[in-house]
């Protein structure tokens, strides 16, 4: 363990010195009379040999009894003291070990973890700042510096576990010192939102968060937006409420949008992190390779702009206004290939290995009449009338058939074979083209809630889906 700005516990440092000093003083009390007597006899021999001989005879008569008694008593005292300290020490070390393991198991079982939105590192246990002197404690847990509490070098006592209030201290990332939320006592679910430029990622994130907040109570969930230093949620939400399309993301690094989503009554919060990045970043794998947040992702949401599918876009003819829908020029294959390459490198996988992560594929911009009829609620209703299937199976069939029809079989086969599971959805992040009226998104909350439910231990929306996903 790295040296901490704290005093070590008594039984981990000073206790040993005290034991040694006490025994040392006790034995010095036994030996010192002998040394003094020898010195006195030496002086007598130099002054009066006859008197010295008499003293020696007297000492030989008395000292053996005195010596045996004194040594026995001191040996008994030393042994008893050592046994006492040893027994107490065993209980101290046992208590330390039990509390250390309990704290560790609590964090592991509950899945407590943070993701730093600045350096993107995964943090199991943050560093904590002393509230008095701001000294950074990089390993605030039961240790040689204290079991339930440790004493900072400034004299302030700090709790060492979540059970007695460690989360109340200011916590920072141990890698870059960026502030972390809740003292690190939460489960963070990290979901990068993937897609090419103008696919509608930012609009989808904004409208999905708005919809989740609106319907949280009905789903027995508590929602709370938690701003980061870089997200533009408030600005984008205001824009959408006034019928203005949010500005496209220009950041070529992951931009974290965070909110709490926790079942009612659950003590440990879920912190959902949605990560946005400029679609242009998928043009160059070296750019997204720098985003180590992908390595720690719990799931992915891939936003598909149907108009980026060349054959479908051509089918719309010259009457289709691409400017109104801000269509993406990025091929689905190219975006997916960039993502897979980065993930394979990060996880040291070869092309034959599966990436053990779930993916939701969201067909966006389905307010376009033809798309809604082919992929939306009307199409699902017609399919279920003719087939024995669930709504989500029907949605998969419709989206997969759409991809096959418009010559995107390679994209479909790749994503289904490469990832742990794939679920398709269709939605509209805006509800209609920009026309001065407030937007009315459709179907944006469901894909987000579906994937959160799938990867979260505490969130269970079984009643919503009709079965456990």
Do 60 and 156 lie in one domain? The reply is no
Are 391 and 383 in contact by the 8 Å Cβ rule? The answer is no
In a domain, 410, yes or no: yes
Do 303 and 224 lie in one domain? The reply is yes
Q: What pLDDT does 428 receive?
A: 95
Residue 461: CA atoms inside 13 Å, Cβ hemisphere, count?
Answer: 25
Count of structural domains, the chain:
3
- CATH number of domain containing 288: 3.40.50.300
In a domain, 2, yes or no: no
- Neighbour order of strands in the sheet with 6-7: 6-7, 149-152, 157-159
Long-range CB pairs of 82-85 (<8 Å, 24+ gap) are 82/19, 82/23, 85/15, 85/19
Do 18 and 46 lie in one domain? The reply is yes
Neighbours of 433 (CB within 10 A): 15
- Asked whether the predicted pLDDT for residue 11 surpasses 70, the reply is no
Q: What is the mean pLDDT of residues 431-438?
A: 86
Q: What pLDDT does 469 receive?
A: 58
Which 8-state DSSP code applies to residue 387? Answer: S
In a domain, 1, yes or no: no
Query: What range defines the domain where residue 42 resides?
Result: 7-110
Kind and range of the H or E run holding 262: strand 255-263
Please tell me the distance from the alpha carbon of residue 168 to that of residue 48, in angstroms, as a whole number. Answer: 79
Kind and range of the H or E run holding 425: strand 419-426
Do 83 and 207 lie in one domain? The reply is no
In a domain, 192, yes or no: yes
Q: What residues are paired with 194 via a beta bridge?
A: 302
What angle do the packed helices 14-47 and 49-110 form, to 10 degrees?
A: 180
Length of the chain counted residue by residue:
469
- Select from 57, 78, 110 the last residue of a domain: 110
Do 150 and 249 lie in one domain? The reply is no
Do 101 and 134 lie in one domain? The reply is no
Least confident span in 283-297, 332-346, 415-429: 283-297
In a domain, 430, yes or no: yes
- Asked whether the predicted pLDDT for residue 33 surpasses 60, the reply is no
Do 275 and 249 lie in one domain? The reply is yes
Residue 190 has φ and ψ, to the nearest 5°, of -105, 120
The tens digit of pLDDT for each residue in 177-225 reads 999 999 999 999 999 999 999 999 999 999 999 999 999 999 999 999 9
The tens digit of pLDDT for each residue in 275-323 reads 999 999 998 888 899 999 999 999 999 999 999 999 999 898 766 777 7
Confidence of residue 408 (pLDDT cuts 50, 70, 90): very high
- Asked whether the predicted pLDDT for residue 48 surpasses 60, the reply is no
Do 72 and 132 lie in one domain? The reply is no
In this prediction, what percent of the chain has a pLDDT beyond 70? Answer: 82
Do 201 and 94 lie in one domain? The reply is no
Please tell me the distance from the alpha carbon of residue 295 to that of residue 346, in angstroms, as a whole number. Answer: 6
As a three-state string, the secondary structure of 111-170 is CCEEECCCCCCEECCCEEECCCCCCEECCCCCECCECCEEEECCCCEEECCHHHCHHHCC
Identify the three-state secondary structure at position 50. helix
Confidence of residue 65 (pLDDT cuts 50, 70, 90): low
Do 276 and 397 lie in one domain? The reply is yes
Confidence of residue 164 (pLDDT cuts 50, 70, 90): very high
In a domain, 334, yes or no: yes
Name the residue among 119, 122, 123, 164 with its Cα closest to residue 141: 164
- Strand 6-7 and strand 122-123: pairing? unpaired
Do 428 and 452 lie in one domain? The reply is yes
Name the residue among 266, 269, 209 with its Cα closest to residue 233: 209
In a domain, 54, yes or no: yes
In a domain, 367, yes or no: yes
Identify the three-state secondary structure at position 150. strand
- Select from 179, 213, 233 the last residue of a domain: 179
Q: What pLDDT does 140 receive?
A: 96
Do 360 and 459 lie in one domain? The reply is yes
Reading phi first (left if > 0) and then psi (alpha if -120 to 50, else beta), residue 146 is in left
Q: What is the mean pLDDT of residues 434-459?
A: 93
- Select from 73, 93, 110 the last residue of a domain: 110
- Asked whether the predicted pLDDT for residue 257 surpasses 90, the reply is yes
Please tell me the distance from the alpha carbon of residue 363 to that of residue 115, in angstroms, as a whole number. Answer: 28
Are 403 and 308 in contact by the 8 Å Cβ rule? The answer is no
């Amino acid at each position: 363990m790295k040296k901490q700005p704290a005093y070590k516990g008594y039984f981990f440092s000073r206790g040993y010195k005290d034991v040694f000093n006490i025994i040392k003083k006790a034995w010095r009390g036994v030996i010192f009379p002998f040394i003094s007597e020898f010195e006195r006899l030496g002086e007598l021999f130099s002054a009066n040999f006859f008197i010295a001989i008499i003293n020696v005879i007297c000492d030989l008569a008395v000292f053996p009894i005195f010596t045996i008694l004194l040594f026995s008593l001191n040996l008994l005292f030393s042994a008893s003291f050592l046994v006492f300290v040893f027994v107490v020490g065993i209980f101290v070390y046992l208590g330390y070990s039990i509390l250390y393991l309990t704290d560790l198991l609590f964090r592991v079982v509950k899945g407590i973890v943070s993701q730093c939105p600045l350096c993107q590192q995964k943090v199991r246990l943050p560093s904590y700042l002393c509230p008095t002197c701001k000294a950074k404690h990089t390993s605030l847990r039961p240790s040689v510096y204290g079991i339930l509490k440790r004493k900072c070098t400034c004299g302030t006592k700090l709790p060492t576990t979540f059970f007695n209030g460690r989360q109340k201290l200011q916590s920072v990332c141990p890698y870059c010192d960026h502030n972390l939320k809740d003292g690190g006592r939460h489960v963070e679910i990290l979901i990068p939102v993937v897609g090419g430029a103008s696919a509608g990622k930012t609009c989808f994130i904004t409208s999905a968060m708005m919809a989740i907040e609106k319907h949280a109570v009905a789903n027995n969930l508590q929602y709370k937006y938690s701003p980061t230093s870089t997200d533009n949620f408030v600005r984008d939400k205001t824009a959408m409420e006034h019928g203005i399309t949010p500005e496209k993301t220009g950041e070529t690094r992951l931009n974290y949008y965070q909110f709490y989503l926790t079942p009612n009554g659950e003590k440990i919060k879920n912190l959902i992190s949605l990560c946005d990045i400029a679609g242009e970043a998928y043009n160059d794998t070296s750019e997204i390779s720098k985003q180590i947040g992908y390595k720690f992702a719990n799931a992915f949401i891939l936003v598909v702009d149907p108009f980026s599918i060349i054959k479908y876009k051509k089918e719309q003819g010259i009457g289709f206004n691409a400017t109104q829908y801000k269509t993406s020029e990025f091929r689905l294959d190219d975006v997916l290939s960039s993502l897979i390459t980065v993930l394979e490198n990060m996880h040291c996988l070869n092309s034959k290995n599966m990436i053990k992560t779930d993916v939701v594929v969201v067909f966006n911009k389905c307010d376009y009449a033809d798309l809604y009829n082919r992929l939306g609620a009307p199409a699902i209703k017609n399919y279920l009338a003719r087939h024995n299937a669930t709504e989500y199976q029907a949605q998969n069939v419709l989206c997969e058939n759409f991809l096959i029809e418009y010559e995107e079989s390679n994209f479909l086969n790749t994503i289904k074979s490469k990832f742990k599971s794939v679920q398709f959805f269709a939605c509209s992040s805006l509800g209609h083209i920009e026309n001065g009226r407030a937007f009315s998104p459709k179907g944006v909350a469901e894909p987000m809630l579906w994937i959160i439910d799938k990867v979260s231990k505490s969130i269970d929306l079984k009643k919503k889906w009709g079965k456990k996903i």
